[in-house]
Structure formats: C-alpha cells, structure tokens
C-alpha cells in the first residue's frame, strides 16, 4: 500500500512510501501481449519521453533510465503502435494467462 503522507526518494524523486515496491514489481512484467503478439516493453530512456529529455528518471512514475515504467504511467510508450500506452487503441490481451489462454 502506498502512503502519500509519508514520502521516500526513489531515483531522485520524492514519492509516496511503498512506491519503490511498485516500481520493482513493474520490472517483472517485461512484455505486453497485444493482439495475440508478444512485445518487449520499452524502458525509460529508450522511449520518446526519455529521448526528448536528459532527465535521470521519468517525471510521472520515477523509473530510472533503463527501467520499465510502472503500468499506467502516462509516459509509457506502446511497443506496438508507438503511441501513449495508456491511451492507444491497441488490443492489449491483459485477460490472458501465461499460456495465452483467455481467463474467464
């Protein structure tokens, strides 16, 4: 649980206590399944947000250069279409298990 009343510093940014765990968990999901294809997620610094800035970390989710954004970060780039991951129209297969089977 993130406690916004208590803060810590992660990658040079002040964030709510517990955000370090959220960011660490985001590093475990290295791919997105989109339209039945598997795409490698784009880390901060290799995406349009990181290339356009010399910032050491993402201003939205505090991912450091080379780290993956936290899912739903407004600056994460979709690896399929190149647009904003949370706003693109790509058919993310988030309801599938690791074998590609649709979960009910």
CA distance 26 to 91: 20
CA distance 32 to 72: 12
pLDDT score for 94 = 72
In the three-class reduction of DSSP (H, G, I as helix; E, B as strand; rest coil), residue 54 is classed as: coil
Q: Length of the chain, please?
A: 104
Contact 45, 57 (CB under 8 A): no
In the three-class reduction of DSSP (H, G, I as helix; E, B as strand; rest coil), residue 24 is classed as: helix
In the three-class reduction of DSSP (H, G, I as helix; E, B as strand; rest coil), residue 103 is classed as: coil
Give me the domain span that covers residue 27.
1-104
Domain total of the chain? 1
CA distance 93 to 95: 5
pLDDT score for 82 = 94
| Residue segments in the chain with a per-residue pLDDT below the cut of 50 | 95-96, 100, 102-104
Specify whether the backbone of 78 is left (phi greater than 0), alpha (psi in -120 to 50) or beta.
beta
pLDDT tens string 16-26:
999 999 999 99
pLDDT score for 4 = 72
């Amino acid at each position: 649980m993130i406690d916004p009343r208590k803060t810590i510093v992660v990658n040079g940014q002040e964030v709510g206590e517990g955000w370090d765990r959220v960011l660490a968990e985001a590093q475990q999901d290295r791919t997105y399944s989109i339209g039945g294809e598997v795409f490698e997620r784009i880390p901060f610094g290799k995406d349009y947000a990181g290339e356009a800035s010399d910032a050491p970390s993402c201003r939205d989710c505090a991912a450091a250069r080379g780290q993956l954004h936290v899912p739903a970060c407004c600056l994460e780039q979709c690896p399929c279409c190149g647009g904003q991951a949370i706003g693109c129209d790509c058919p993310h297969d988030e309801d599938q298990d690791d074998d590609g089977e649709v979960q009910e």
